[in-house]
Structure 1
Amino acid sequence: MPSITRRRAPNPGRRAFVETEILAATRRLLINGANFTELGVQQISTEAGVARSTFYSHFRDKTDLLLRLATTVVDRSFDIASAWEPSDGLERLADGFRQVVGIYREHAVVLRAIAEVASYDATVRDFWYEGLSRFTDRTIAVLRDEQDSGRSPADLDLVSAGRVIVMGGKQAILDHITVGNSQHDAAFARELALIWWYGAYRRPAEPAPGRP
């Protein structure tokens, strides 16, 4: 009787474990000073303790790997940002920013790699821009609700305000985690919240023409 070779059933738990190990290995290499562009798949595989072929069975290429790392940053930040509503108030907004700053600090090497690769890779650049667009779209929607209810001024340009506070906020956070001390994170987060709150959400309405 001929032997029957049975195909081994996929093990989702094992697959997730291996992917986690590869992602963690990449972060370790970046933390230790590796340049993502110059980082080779073999080097990542060796650090993770897997074969090169195993890497390619989990990730299409290094870009796919970087996007997976970036997704963690975007999703965790968006979950925090989207949980806040203006009715929660200024201090809750400041606390949310403090949490986002913490996430950016935790993944600083990933953010540097994104900036590095986005300068020449359109896929990474588009992914990062689309991720930020989620924040901008939600901010505009929240501002529109506030404007419709009369709590934000009628002369507020929703699209411009949304882009300024999201894109500007992102750049400010990146700059802060690069040059600022973590002991100042809470103060930085509160200042950012104050700028958002009084610059858009509760900006005083401009007086009518001819009135002081």
Structure 2
Amino acid sequence: MPSLTRIPRSARKSSDDRRVEFERRVLSAVEDLLGDGTPYTELAVQRIAAASGAARSTFYRYFPDKSSLLVRMAELATADLFAAAETWWRAEHTDEQAGVVAAIAAMISGFRAHRYLLLALSEVSAYDRAVARYWRTRVAGFAELVCTRLDTERAAGRVAPRLDPQSTALVLTSMVERTLTVAFASETGITDEELAASLGRAIWLVVYGDAQTTA
């Protein structure tokens, strides 16, 4: 007769599922603590573990230090944020500025949802090598995607021949990253819709604004 208390093996959560669930709890706990005004550097591991309902030993099994914790939390927080922009850069650009504005609006929405964590990431990456390496690599990967698309657009004659894909990708990526960081670091009075419209327009004009001119 089957046990009435033992959970069937097929119904148990896999180790991957348990990890994802745990990481999501930690992400929520960290963002709540940062949202209360506590700087990331002052967040004790014990406090984070307690807020996420985990034992300290369990916490260290997943995150050996606060640098690895911040990197993993940033990966979770930026997944959708980058996906929105990557989708636009891979799509057909036949809708003038509407597509890029929508992509930027999605990025802004994602940044707002995780603003405390992402601002902490920006701050900590200034002095923590592991965190800085992760963020540089992540942004560089996105810039490479942009560069590849710009190179394709130039070869197809859809952008000005003098547009340099590599430097333009660097400019666009840095512009978006810095704009969002500044916009959320303090109260600017600019709405998310206004920011998306202006940033989207700037990106479109940099890429396609002089497409009809000659070199």
* Pair 198,19 (structure 1): closer, same or farther in 2 beyond 3 Å: closer
Alignment of 1:16-165 (within 5 A): 16-84=20-88, 85=91, 86-165=93-172
Matched letter for residue 95 of structure 1: A
Identity %: 29
TM-score (norm 2): 0.84
CA-based RMSD of the aligned residues comes to: 2.1
Shift of 1:181: 4.1
* Pair 14,205 (structure 1): closer, same or farther in 2 beyond 3 Å: closer
* Partner of residue 6, structure 2: none
| 1:167 maps onto 2:167 in alignment | no
3-state secondary structure, aligned to 2:104: helix
Shift of 1:19: 2.7
In 1, are the aligned partners of 2:30 and 2:117 still within 8 Å (CA)? no
Q: Aligned partners of 2:23, 2:201: CA distance in 1, in Å?
A: 40
In 2, are the aligned partners of 1:74 and 1:131 still within 8 Å (CA)? no
Shift of 1:203: 2.0
Shift of 1:120: 1.4
In 1, are the aligned partners of 2:143 and 2:169 still within 8 Å (CA)? yes
Gaps of 5+ in 2: 1-11
* Pair 151,15 (structure 1): closer, same or farther in 2 beyond 3 Å: closer
In 1, are the aligned partners of 2:105 and 2:196 still within 8 Å (CA)? yes
Q: Aligned partners of 1:46, 1:67: CA distance in 2, in Å?
A: 20
Higher mean C-alpha displacement, 121-130 vs 19-28: 19-28
Q: Aligned partners of 1:120, 1:20: CA distance in 2, in Å?
A: 26
TM-score (norm 1): 0.86
* Pair 202,146 (structure 1): closer, same or farther in 2 beyond 3 Å: farther
Deviations 1:46-103 (A, max 9, x none): 2122211111122121111101111123321221111112234310110110110111
3-state secondary structure, aligned to 1:21: helix
| 1:180 maps onto 2:197 in alignment | no
In 2, are the aligned partners of 1:118 and 1:125 still within 8 Å (CA)? yes
Deviations 1:13-65 (A, max 9, x none): 43433332222211111111111112111111121222111111221211111
Larger Rg: 1
In 2, are the aligned partners of 1:154 and 1:205 still within 8 Å (CA)? no
* Partner of residue 193, structure 1: 200
Deviations 1:145-202 (A, max 9, x none): 11111110101111111110111121112212233347x2112111111111122234
Deviations 1:111-142 (A, max 9, x none): 12112211211110111111111221111111
